[in-house]
Amino acid sequence: MKILSPTYTIPTEPVFLDHLLMNLEKTIIVGTTNGTLEGKLTGVAIDHIQLTVGNLNYHIRFQHIIYYTGKP
């Protein structure tokens, strides 16, 4: 009997991820399905970002991001 391990897949958007990485450690505004947040982009992972607003870290999954604005 062969035991199969579960598969974990994440749809990726490489260009969007690359553009976010160019704004790492900068202040950005993120529009989400639940409203907007402004803070410092302190982390970018394969499936989410970390946005620091004051003393709080928000971990926002890519599928909930509608847009972001940052410095070019």
Q: Could you tell me if residue 7 is inside a domain? A: no
Q: Could you tell me if residue 23 is inside a domain? A: yes
Question: At 26, which CATH number?
Answer: 2.30.30.100
What lies within 8 Å, CB to CB, of 47 at 6+ separation is 10, 61, 62
- The whole-number pLDDT of residue 72 equals 63
Q: What is the pTM of this model?
A: 0.84
Q: Could you tell me if residue 41 is inside a domain? A: yes
Q: Could you tell me if residue 24 is inside a domain? A: yes
**Per-residue pLDDT tens over the stretch 2-57:** 777 778 787 888 999 999 999 999 999 999 999 999 999 999 999 999 999 999 99
Q: Could you tell me if residue 5 is inside a domain? A: no
Q: Could you tell me if residue 32 is inside a domain? A: yes
Domain count of the chain?
1
Nearest by Cα to 40 from 29, 51, 55: 51
Domain span at 24: 14-69
Q: Could you tell me if residue 4 is inside a domain? A: no
Question: Residue 70's pLDDT band (boundaries 50, 70, 90)?
Answer: confident
